[in-house]
Structure 1
Amino acid sequence: MAVAIILLLVAIASVAFHLFSPWWWTPLASNWSYIDHTITLTFWITGAVFVAVVVFMAYCVLRFHHKEGRRAAYNPENKRLEWWLSVGTAIGVAAMLAPGLVVWHQFVTVPADATDVEVMGQQWQWSYRLPGKDGRLGTSDARLVSPDNPMGLNPDDPNGKDDIVVQNDDLHLPVGKPVKVLLRSIDVLHDFYVPEFRAKMDMIPGSVTYYWFTPTRTGTFEVLCAELCGAAHAQMRSKVIVEEDKEYHAWLEKQRTFAELSSPRSVAKVIYKTGSE
């Protein structure tokens, strides 16, 4: 009896903790409410199965507990029960997978008017690249990475001359406009994650992964690396600042292009400053 009561209390406490827990998602700041709905659906399905299994265990403890003279019946096969379990499991798994597949299709289907923004992760900082006035990002190559060219941009590609390079600083984005995030890593696995945006994706050396989102409210949001990437993983922080279009363009005008950063005068200035320090 005591074991059955404990099992029922575990089920009740688990559901109550989920419903009244003070720890929940951060307020949404992007279009990906679909991800929240999919996770909530998964919680309800797995929670219902958990409660059903625990209640069944409590029933079995009460119904079939040891009594003097009682003997267990041996029933190695029960085709009816096996069919019910197979069909029920298949329905439950499909109910969890189907919404996820629908959301994933939306996740990788980028709107035609989305702006490309490149994010590069390295131990242990974030760098960003935005298109210049031509609206196109230039090509890059990991073999071109150097102290003077930290993102490995191709100096011979005219499309990259006006690209805005933001190294180890905050990323600014306009509110209400879709963004396609191009993700690169030059050393180990990283994962670009802003909790309020919900969306995230692994950054794999040697390839470019992507997703898209639309910021839906202004504010300052912290960037985290959601992949264990080394000793200073926890310090790999940055910020995404979502602002109105006017403020965003004012910030953009103050940024330097790849051509400006790679000019001989800029290089000499960096060398002079480093030497004077």
Structure 2
Amino acid sequence: MAVALALVLIALGSVLFHLLSPWWWTPIASNWKYIDDTIIVTFWITGVVFVAVVLFVAYCIYRFRHQPGRQAHYEPENTRLEVVLTSVTGLGVIAMLTPGLFVWNHFITVPEDATNIEIVGQQWQWSYRLPGPDGKLGSSDTRNVTPDNPLGINKDDPASQDDVVVEGAELRLPVGKPVKALLRSIDVLHDFYVPEFRAKMDLVPGQVSYFWLTPTRTGTFEILCAELCGVGHPQMRGTVMVQTEADYQAWLDGQSHRSFARLTAPGN
């Protein structure tokens, strides 16, 4: 009786905790409300299953508790029960996975008018590369990394010369404009994560991963590394500032001193 009652209280307490002290997300600042919707669907499915399983176990403990003279019934197989449990479990898994597949397809389908930017992770800071006046982002390769070229930008690519290089400072983005973030790591596995954007992706050494988003409101948001990357992992933070189109363009026009050509010029 005590165990059965404890299980009922756990189920009841879990429901009351969610209803009376709900967990809150940070305010969303991108187009990825789909992520929140998918999490909510998964939460309700798993929550209902959790409560049902706990209450069923409590019922079984009470209903089939030890009583003098009662003998357990041995039933090694029950085809009907197995079919029902397998079907219900399969439907539950399908219900959780299906919304995620649609969201994932949207997540990797980048709009044609998205602007390419590059985000580079290294122990333990974030660096960025934005297209210059030509609107094109030059190529890069980790094999080009040197003390004078820490991001491995291709010096022979004409499109690279006016690229704006931002090391260890804040990332700036225009509001309402889709952005495709190309993610690279110089050393170990990192993960670029801005909670308000609801979008994150691993940076894997030796490959270029990506995600896209459209910032929907101006403000300054914290960038986190969501993958353990060494002793300095907790300090691998940064900020992203989302500005109006006019403010962003004014800032970009004043970044000629950060162009790749200027940074690699003799004497710098």
Shift of 1:234: 0.4
Report what 2:186 is aligned to: 186
Report what 1:197 is aligned to: 197
The answer to whether 1:134 aligns with 2:120 is no
CA displacement, residues 258-277 of structure 1 (integer Å, 9 cap, x when unaligned): 01111113x1xxxxxxxxxx
**Aligned partner (choices 244, 257, 260) of residue 258 of structure 1:** 260
Shift of 1:20: 3.2
1:167-178 paired onto structure 2 within 5 Å: 167-178=167-178
Shift of 1:5: 1.3
Report what 1:112 is aligned to: 112
1:61, 1:32 → 2: CA distance? 44
SS at match of 1:153: coil
CA displacement, residues 139-194 of structure 1 (integer Å, 9 cap, x when unaligned): 11212212211111111110100111111100000111111010000100000000
SS at match of 1:138: coil
The answer to whether 1:149 aligns with 2:149 is yes
Report what 2:92 is aligned to: 92
What's the TM-score, normalizing by structure 1? 0.94
2:89, 2:214 → 1: CA distance? 36
Unmatched 5+ stretches in structure 1:
268-277
State the AA in 2 paired with 1:185.
S
1:246, 1:64 → 2: CA distance? 72
SS at match of 1:27: coil
1:21, 1:32 → 2: CA distance? 25
Shift of 1:22: 5.3
1:154, 1:14 → 2: CA distance? 55
Shift of 1:136: 1.2
Shift of 1:120: 0.1
1:170, 1:251 → 2: CA distance? 12
Report what 1:27 is aligned to: 27
The 1:117–1:19 alpha-carbon spacing in structure 2 relative to 1, beyond 3 Å, is farther
Shift of 1:229: 0.2
1:233-248 paired onto structure 2 within 5 Å: 233-248=233-248
1:20, 1:137 → 2: CA distance? 49
Unmatched 5+ stretches in structure 2:
none
State the AA in 1 paired with 2:161.
K
State the AA in 1 paired with 2:251.
W
Report what 1:218 is aligned to: 218
Report what 2:50 is aligned to: 50
2:15, 2:107 → 1: CA distance? 30
1:66-85 paired onto structure 2 within 5 Å: 66-85=66-85
Shift of 1:109: 0.2
1:246, 1:159 → 2: CA distance? 24
The 1:89–1:22 alpha-carbon spacing in structure 2 relative to 1, beyond 3 Å, is closer
SS at match of 1:264: coil
SS at match of 2:162: coil
Identity across aligned pairs (percent)? 67
2:58, 2:30 → 1: CA distance? 43
CA displacement, residues 46-99 of structure 1 (integer Å, 9 cap, x when unaligned): 111100100101111111001000001111111111111011000000001111
SS at match of 1:242: strand
Report what 2:227 is aligned to: 227
Two-structure CA RMSD over aligned residues (Å): 0.9
State the AA in 2 paired with 1:189.
L
Report what 2:15 is aligned to: 15
State the AA in 2 paired with 1:168.
G
Shift of 1:254: 2.1
1:134, 1:79 → 2: CA distance? 68
